[in-house]
Amino acid sequence: MSALILIELNGSEVNASSRAAITAASKLSDSIDALVLTNDSSNSESVSKLAGINSVKMIVDDSLENVNVEVASKLIADVMSGYKYLVSGSSTYSKNILPRVGALLDVQPISDVCEIKSNNTFVRPLYAGNIMATVESSDETIIMTVRATAFEHSGDGGSAEVEVLSITIPESNSTFISLQESQSERPELTTAARIVSGGRGLGSKENFTLIEQLADKLDAAVGASRAAVDAGFISNDYQVGQTGKVVAPQLYLAVGISGAIQHLAGMKDSQVIVVINNDPDAPMSRMADLVWQTDLFGALKELNEYQV
Amino acid sequence: MKIIIPIKRVLDPYTQARVNKQTEQVDLTNAKMAMNPFCEIAVEEALTLKESGAASETIAVSIGTDKTVDTLRTALAMGVDRAIFIKTESELDLQPLHIGKILANIIKREEAELIIMGKQAVDNDNNQTGQILSGLLDFSLGTFISKFDLSSDASSVEVSREIDSGIETRKLNLPAIVTVDLRLNEPRYASLPNIMKARSKPLETIELDSLGIDTSPRIKVISVVESGTKDRASKQINSAEELFSELNQMGVL
Amino acid sequence: MERESIEYDVVVVGGGPSGLASACKLKQLNPNLSVCLLEKGAEIGSHILSGAVFEPQTLFDLFPEDAKNCPTLKTPVVKDDLYWLTSNNKSIKIPSWLMPKSLHNKGNFIISLGELCQWISEKAMELGVDIFPGFPAQNYLTDESGRVIGIATGDMGIDKDGNQKGTYTPGMDILAKQTIFAEGARGHLGKRLIKEFNLDEGKTPQHFAIGFKEVWEVDNDKHSPGDVVHSMGWPLKGGTSGGGFLYHFENNRIAVGLIIDLNYSNPSHNTFQEFQQFKQHPSIKQYLESGKRVSYGARAITKGGINSLVKMEFDGGMIVGCDAGTLNPSKIKGSHCALQSGILAAEYINKVLLEENCDFDDLFKNSTLYKELYESRNFSAAMHKFGFYLGAMYNFIESNIFQNKLPFTIKDENRDCDSLSLSKASSIKEYPAPDNVLSFDITSSLFLSGTNHEEDQPVHLKLTDVSIPLTRNKKLYDEPAQRYCPAGVYEIIEKDGEDYFQINAQNCLHCKTCDIKDPSQNINWVPPEGGGGPNYIGM
């Protein structure tokens, strides 16, 4: 009943979502192997150090630098014989590849698992997380992606053996052209570890720059409530909520947001929620781990000037 | 070049999904249904290609009970040339693998070379069908695309993909499947005159059973619950210093 | 892109009971007629909100066979209680023999009117009516002689400054030999037609109320399907009339609501808060406490009765249902009246199209609708004129003792928009914060209404004079729009150190209260881009 983790690398480092996948897989199997598709064999180093891994399978080829889904899915389908589970962290990398592996193995994959109930029963979100479904798979092989926010990130401390697999790289009819890495000074809203979000309480577009300052200080992304967007303080790309982006950062700091349900639906799964507001009755406060009830501008000034 | 646009009828994304206490399922009785927003974007992209002269025909395909025809008529009203309705007798729990097999059957029959579809449906949020379909047909695949350029000889497309690390650009040789993301375009309205005209556009009905595809569920839904919002401890703090020290202790800085 | 046009024999504006009934009846009378019906909601039923206890006879008249299988008629009324709420925790149950006859509901059903309209719309489509939801009629069209010749739908894809966006799609002209306006209470075209054709000449001004409604899902032990509770009194006081309702209907649902007459005088009166308070009364709370609120909405009600009912026919068309004012105020029921008025309009228009001689007045005066409305003619006016207690007593005596046969008519000549006292002459009403068990804030309530509007479009609440809210209305009445609107559309906020009148048009529930109650009659409700507004389910 062994499990294979499809590892996603950021450069030579193991992506946090892959670490969550190891934690999830450890609830399913005692024997976990990691699979890495890469162009550089030295990338095995960070993978072999992962705790809880039996062995690292590696396929090395120049074409795997910007991995091609047609190729990757065939390679993974080949490697999967002998494994019961294929687990990866939810990301655009795994969501691109895993369902195609499912098609090749005639398996119905399971997306965004948040909880493991038994060896074939899982909890996953539907309807933008408003509904949680418990689902049971009847497939012989189980393929799934897991939410990085729902499982602990497994650490280092292992010393797994690395096996370089010699597989012929299949032909493909698509080619990589370029990768334009995100240039923004600030992290991207949906994947940011920290978000500073502003509401209509800020009163003006000019005041909203205080939110941006604080975000830069905390290396956080900037978010906004729909009311702030409607009032023209910031563009709609920054809207957090049911009609905007759904986020679940480690830290969500809400300033001057009353907390309409539309907004709460977009950020309720954040790990730590901090609310700075002058209205003690705002619904947002009930959602918060930390509440600072005070004048917004005084608080923002104090936070922006505070020497960390 | 024929383009097929698979589309899905879903609970209107602005409607709150609720669990019916009696049936213990998501309650769709009398609920407002709409075309999945990502599918609208796919339809728009196909129409743009048709208008540019690059495509010969645009065909919308959907699967479901009779009500699904409404969604296909919307696609026809937006401007799609014809529609194929795969009819099921009752509400089936069709999963992406089943849908992939059904669509693969239709695509082979129509000999379509380009499939444009939404990256996910906003009800089950699987984000799988396009990928699975590409695997079944061995077509090249571009997921999460925000830019789409057909080569002048219509043998390949250059797509920009919105991935976690940035924007990846790839060239896909046809036949290909692309799944579209929000920023690709802004879909047009189905205007009233076009809704009227859509009534006389061709819509072919195919009984699902006639395709001989095994649709027994691979995944059984055991239960669904509304996730709701929980109240938290709400500890009061009074200074920036206190805030930073709390956040440091929680390890989120 | 140019505007296109199309011709029908009859176009119906509005997919509520009166519009749907007229469309169905027309096709029943003459299947060869081409009939189309426009509805501004995204679907039939999505803008419908009503109690509703429903008198089914008219539905059986319209669909003698099919109505037997109408899935909406599931819960017959089995018990009928009336409470007088004397304070926030006391009540007196009014014995059945003392209840006004009009409030007895034997033989009626508890329904969702939205669900009923969806069912009728299916019948209409079977009869061959072309139904187009998501397309509001923006204007009516007239020829040189002033005759109404159809309607125009609105353009789509206009940004908030009025410029065309990439998705711009022009509206369409729908020309018709006859146009039926069935927009519901205070329809925006109905309002203009009444003025242009002097349809209210010789009538007392129309009176309105705002009706709030929530649907709750409750446990079995709190639920007795078929039970009807009506209330009067608390929390409404100080000359504000109205009443509450609580209906147990199928699927463990309870509809709870409060109707508040819009001739109230205290500008600090907050209609939303009154409704939230109402649910705290022990006689209401007992049912809801352990339940879950699943929807919320509000809608204006036309309740002037026959004294205010406008002339329904004009050159080129008809105005029917609550758009004209056919609700029976003594029963507080309008659905069966709306159906009847739609049927009458269809019968009349069918004859007009056949060029047969017919006088609408004769047709109407010989109808059961007229008889019913005539008998209840004094109900609202008595309440308005004599105040709540004397008015209620008068109504009891008139209906139960004199069997509605008194030979005189009471009239209320004051408009609802003129009833406000000045802020400085009024007590300040204060309301407790929501407990999030029974009472809630506006934003979480709105979420349950499903209301949504494309954000980048012109504001659909037009101010004739943009300065009035902050000058006249604020000074005299502390801008009451902040408190009569059930959707938090109107706010005075501080922007860059100055007062600013903010209109959150995307919150609008299309209830029309602002258009009715604004003391300066400065707010003009016009339809937003098609499909916008609430998405009521089962309301």
Mean pLDDT, residues C500-505 taken together: 90
CATH value at residue A208? 3.40.50.1220
Residues of B in contact with A139 (CB under 8 A): 218-219
C-beta atoms of A111 and B127 within 8 A = yes
Structure-token match 């577009």, residue found? A205
Of the candidate ranges C275-289, C295-309, C379-393, the one whose mean pLDDT is the lowest: C379-393
**How many domains does chain A divide into?**
2
For B246, the 3-state DSSP assignment is helix
Reply yes or no on whether the pLDDT at C403 is more than 70: no
Domain assignment present for B249: no
Domain assignment present for B111: yes
Q: Does B249 touch chain C (CB under 8 A)?
A: no
C-beta atoms of B140 and A173 within 8 A = yes
Q: Cα distance from C414 to chain A (closest Cα, Å)?
A: 38
The 10s digit of each residue's pLDDT in B37-73 is: 999 999 999 999 999 999 999 999 999 999 999 999 9
Domain assignment present for B244: no
Q: Cα distance from C43 to chain B (closest Cα, Å)?
A: 7
The 10s digit of each residue's pLDDT in C120-130 is: 999 999 999 99
Q: What is the DSSP string of B132-157?
A: HHHHHHT-EEEEEEEEEEE-TTSSEE
Instruction: List all chains that touch chain C, counting a touch as 3 or more CB pairs closer than 8 Å.
Output: A, B
The reply to whether A84 and A157 lie within a common domain is: yes
CATH value at residue B162? 3.40.50.620
C-beta atoms of B246 and A290 within 8 A = yes
The 10s digit of each residue's pLDDT in A125-169 is: 898 778 899 999 999 999 999 988 788 889 999 999 999 999 999
Which residues are within 8 A (CB) of C72 and not within 5 positions of it... i.e. 6 or more apart?
C109, C111, C112, C115, C116, C119
Phi-psi region of C69 (alpha: psi -120 to 50; beta: other; left: phi over 0): alpha
C-beta atoms of A103 and B26 within 8 A = no
Here the tokens at position C46 are 């999505």
CA gap C504, C525 in Å, rounded:
13
Residues of B in contact with A149 (CB under 8 A): none
Nearest by CB to residue B234, choosing from A10, A101, A286, is A286
Work out whether strand B176-180 and strand B114-118 pair parallel, antiparallel, or are unpaired.
parallel
What is the count of residue pairs from A and C with beta carbons less than 8 Å apart? 29
Q: Which of residues 77-116 of B touch A (CB under 8 A)?
A: 95-97, 100
Here the tokens at position A59 are 């396929």
Which residue is closest to A133 within chain B, CA to CA?
B224
Domain assignment present for C538: no
Closest Cα to residue B75, out of B65, B53, B95, B60?
A: B60
Q: Pseudo-torsion of CA A136, A138, A144, A146, nearest 10°?
A: 10
C-beta atoms of A204 and C441 within 8 A = no
Burial of A157 (0-12, 13-18, 19+ CB in 10 A): exposed
Nearest by CB to residue C447, choosing from A200, A230, A262, is A262
Q: For C379-436, give the secondary structure using H, E and C.
A: HHHHHHHHCHHHHHHHHHHHHHHCCCCCCCCCCCCCCHHHCCCCHHHCCCCCCCCCCC
Mean pLDDT, residues B166-184 taken together: 93
Which residue is closest to C504 within chain A, CA to CA?
A230
Reply yes or no on whether the pLDDT at C430 is more than 70: yes
Q: Does C42 touch chain B (CB under 8 A)?
A: yes
Residue C506: band (very low, low, confident or very high) from pLDDT cuts 50, 70, 90:
confident
| Residue where a domain stops, chosen among A164, A198, A215 | A164
Interface test with C, best of A261, A268, A278 (most C CBs within 10 A): A261
Residues C266/C76, Cβ–Cβ less than 8 Å: no
Q: Does C455 touch chain B (CB under 8 A)?
A: no
Predicted confidence at residue C380, as pLDDT, reads 66
Tell me the ipTM for this assembly.
0.92
Domain assignment present for A285: yes
Predicted confidence at residue C389, as pLDDT, reads 62
The reply to whether A290 and A202 lie within a common domain is: yes
For B33, the 3-state DSSP assignment is strand
CA gap A246, A266 in Å, rounded:
4
> What's the sign of the alpha-carbon dihedral A61, A66, A67, A71?
negative
Interface test with B, best of A73, A86, A92, A295 (most B CBs within 10 A): A92
Residue type, C107: G
**How many domains does chain B divide into?**
1
CA gap C502, C489 in Å, rounded:
8
The 10s digit of each residue's pLDDT in A86-111 is: 999 999 999 999 999 999 999 999 99
CA gap C533, C514 in Å, rounded:
15
Residue B18: band (very low, low, confident or very high) from pLDDT cuts 50, 70, 90:
confident
Here the tokens at position B14 are 């602005």
Predicted confidence at residue A89, as pLDDT, reads 94
Q: Does B53 touch chain C (CB under 8 A)?
A: no
CA gap C325, C183 in Å, rounded:
11
C-beta atoms of C172 and B32 within 8 A = no
| Residue where a domain stops, chosen among A148, A164, A180 | A164
Q: Cα distance from A41 to chain C (closest Cα, Å)?
A: 50
Q: Does B31 touch chain C (CB under 8 A)?
A: yes
Mean pLDDT, residues C217-229 taken together: 94
Which residues are within 8 A (CB) of A299 and not within 5 positions of it... i.e. 6 or more apart?
A255, A276, A292, B240
Domain assignment present for C72: no
Domain assignment present for B31: yes
The reply to whether A83 and A206 lie within a common domain is: no
Expressed in angstroms, the distance from the first to the final Cα of chain B is 53
Domain assignment present for A108: yes
Which residue is closest to B138 within chain A, CA to CA?
A70
Residues of C in contact with B29 (CB under 8 A): 538
Whole domain around residue C62: which residue ranges? 4-66+114-203+310-375
Q: Which of residues 32-91 of A touch B (CB under 8 A)?
A: 66, 68-70, 73, 91
> Cα angle at A245 between A241 and A251, to 5 degrees?
80
Mean pLDDT, residues C361-387 taken together: 84
Residues B154/B1, Cβ–Cβ less than 8 Å: yes
The reply to whether A19 and A138 lie within a common domain is: yes
Q: Does C39 touch chain B (CB under 8 A)?
A: no
The reply to whether A10 and A134 lie within a common domain is: yes
Domain assignment present for C152: yes
CATH value at residue C338? 3.50.50.60
3-state DSSP percent of chain B in helix, strand and coil, to 5: 30, 30, 40
Nearest by CB to residue A272, choosing from B17, B170, B252, is B252
Q: What is the DSSP string of A41-93?
A: GGGHHHHHTBTT-SEEEEEE-GGGTT--HHHHHHHHHHHTTT-SEEEEESSHH
Whole domain around residue A149: which residue ranges? 3-164
Here the tokens at position C15 are 């997919």
Closest Cα to residue B130, out of A73, A20, A76, A5?
A: A73
The reply to whether A103 and A248 lie within a common domain is: no
Q: Does B188 touch chain C (CB under 8 A)?
A: yes
Predicted confidence at residue C223, as pLDDT, reads 95
Polymer length in residues for chain A? 308
Domain assignment present for C244: no
Whole domain around residue B182: which residue ranges? 2-219
Q: Which of residues 184-223 of B touch A (CB under 8 A)?
A: 217-223
Nearest by CB to residue B189, choosing from C114, C156, C535, is C156
Q: What is the DSSP string of A110-151?
A: EEEE-EEEETTEEEEEEGGGTEEEEEEE--SSEEEEE-TTTS
Reply yes or no on whether the pLDDT at C497 is more than 90: no
C-beta atoms of C496 and A204 within 8 A = yes
Nearest by CB to residue A204, choosing from C443, C495, C504, is C495
Residues of A in contact with B133 (CB under 8 A): 103
Here the tokens at position A219 are 């290396």
CA gap A84, A5 in Å, rounded:
11
> What's the sign of the alpha-carbon dihedral C322, C323, C326, C330?
positive
C-beta atoms of C455 and A236 within 8 A = yes
Domain assignment present for A233: yes
Domain assignment present for B252: no
Interface test with B, best of C251, C451, C529 (most B CBs within 10 A): C251
The reply to whether A132 and A87 lie within a common domain is: yes
Q: Does B155 touch chain A (CB under 8 A)?
A: no
C-beta atoms of A261 and C441 within 8 A = no
Which residues are within 8 A (CB) of C13 and not within 5 positions of it... i.e. 6 or more apart?
C19, C37, C38, C137, C151, C179, C180, C181, C182, C183, C187, C189
Q: Does B195 touch chain C (CB under 8 A)?
A: yes
Structure-token match 């504000």, residue found? C240
Polymer length in residues for chain C? 539
The reply to whether A34 and A155 lie within a common domain is: yes
Instruction: List all chains that touch chain B, counting a touch as 3 or more CB pairs closer than 8 Å.
Output: A, C
Closest Cα to residue B38, out of B124, B119, B145, B127?
A: B119
Q: Pseudo-torsion of CA B77, B79, B80, B86, nearest 10°?
A: -10
C-beta atoms of B15 and C537 within 8 A = yes
Domain assignment present for A141: yes
Which residues are within 8 A (CB) of C127 and not within 5 positions of it... i.e. 6 or more apart?
C23, C24, C27, C28, C31
C-beta atoms of B188 and C167 within 8 A = yes
Residues of B in contact with A98 (CB under 8 A): 131
**How many domains does chain C divide into?**
1
Q: Which of residues 88-117 of A touch B (CB under 8 A)?
A: 91-93, 95-104, 106-112
CATH value at residue A78? 3.40.50.620
Domain assignment present for B143: yes
Which residues are within 8 A (CB) of B63 and not within 5 positions of it... i.e. 6 or more apart?
B86, B88, B94, B99, B102, B208
Expressed in angstroms, the distance from the first to the final Cα of chain A is 48
List Cα–Cα distances, C490 to A63, C88, C186, C506, C513, in angstroms: 59, 29, 19, 11, 12
Mean pLDDT, residues B182-209 taken together: 94
C-beta atoms of B170 and A174 within 8 A = yes
Here the tokens at position C280 are 């705290």
Kindly provide the residue ranges of all beta strands, DSSP E only, lying in B37-180, ordered along the sequence.
Answer: 57-64, 82-87, 114-118, 140-150, 156-163, 166-173, 176-180
What is the count of residue pairs from A and B with beta carbons less than 8 Å apart? 237
Reply yes or no on whether the pLDDT at C399 is more than 70: no
Residue B90: band (very low, low, confident or very high) from pLDDT cuts 50, 70, 90:
confident
Residues A275/A257, Cβ–Cβ less than 8 Å: yes
Q: Cα distance from B12 to chain C (closest Cα, Å)?
A: 9
CA gap C156, C171 in Å, rounded:
7
Q: What is the DSSP string of C479-539?
A: -THHHH-TT--EEEEEETTEEEEEE-GGG-----HHHHH-TT--EEE---STT-B---S--
Domain assignment present for C185: yes
Q: Cα distance from B176 to chain A (closest Cα, Å)?
A: 9
Residues of C in contact with A243 (CB under 8 A): 452
Domain assignment present for A197: yes
Reply yes or no on whether the pLDDT at B14 is more than 70: yes
Residues of chain A with pLDDT under 50: none
C-beta atoms of B191 and C169 within 8 A = yes
